[in-house]
Structure 1
């Protein structure tokens, strides 16, 4: 039996959170998704709630306080998440950001699209390529 998919989106932009949640609902209404408004809150939740283990983590790069690269570095230190793929989800399309994120341990990089339909297609492909969180 296939495990239900759960996502954790770490993004300070409420509009981007809503678009991401809408895309997931349209893709598959059974996908659960939690959001954190910044890296500090995300890490606090993950460290305090040991039962919380999302299938996928999506992380924005440009956030106040703790940016996505700093948060990624800290996420990689949490042992129970070592097999959880972390994808950068950012407006950046800079190749340097992609390379640096991969060096820090990101599984992949999604540039925030202008169309919800594009995001639905990206997420569908990602879930096919990383079933249950792993390739």
Structure 2
């Protein structure tokens, strides 16, 4: 699938900036939004304020983890069709398995190399 309207849910400002820069280098026509917390994201998604085609979701966040968010959203009739790609530092096979069981579309471990990030995102955007 190709996505043109992306939401990143991640509480790390540096990761948000790197992700946004990578998206902009891949395509200037992609709409990109970020939200710092899963709870705030749920509110904005439920109200229709944000209507992404795909959500990139970090797992390690305070107040509501990415796994809690994923589990909740996949029970919401209005939101369950939005593909959610886990985008986190973890590469733990058990975590990957669990998030896929909860309904994640895909799982991407955050790369340490910027060009690798571009190569991972490019097939999803172009």
Q: TM-score scaled by structure 1? A: 0.86
Taking the aligned partners of 2:12 and 2:23, their CA distance within structure 1 comes to 17
Show structure 1 runs of 4+ deviating over 3 A.
Answer: none
**Structure 2, unaligned runs of 5 or more:** none
Q: CA deviation at 1:33?
A: 0.9
Greater RCO, CA 8 A, separation 6+: 2
Alpha carbons 2:45, 2:79 under 8 Å: kept = no
Provide the residue aligned with 2:50 in structure 1: 52
Alpha carbons 2:3, 2:124 under 8 Å: kept = no
Q: CA deviation at 1:4?
A: 7.1
Alpha carbons 2:3, 2:125 under 8 Å: kept = no
Taking the aligned partners of 2:83 and 2:103, their CA distance within structure 1 comes to 9
Structure 2 residue 64 is the aligned partner of structure 1 residue 66: yes
**Structure 1, unaligned runs of 5 or more:** 129-135
1:1-135 correspondence runs (5 A): 5-49=4-48, 52-127=50-125
Q: Classify 1:110/1:4 alpha carbon distance in 2 versus 1 (closer, same or farther; 3 Å).
A: closer
Alpha carbons 1:4, 1:30 under 8 Å: kept = no
When the two structures are aligned, how many residues end up with a matched partner? 125
Q: CA deviation at 1:40?
A: 0.4
Q: CA deviation at 1:116?
A: 1.4
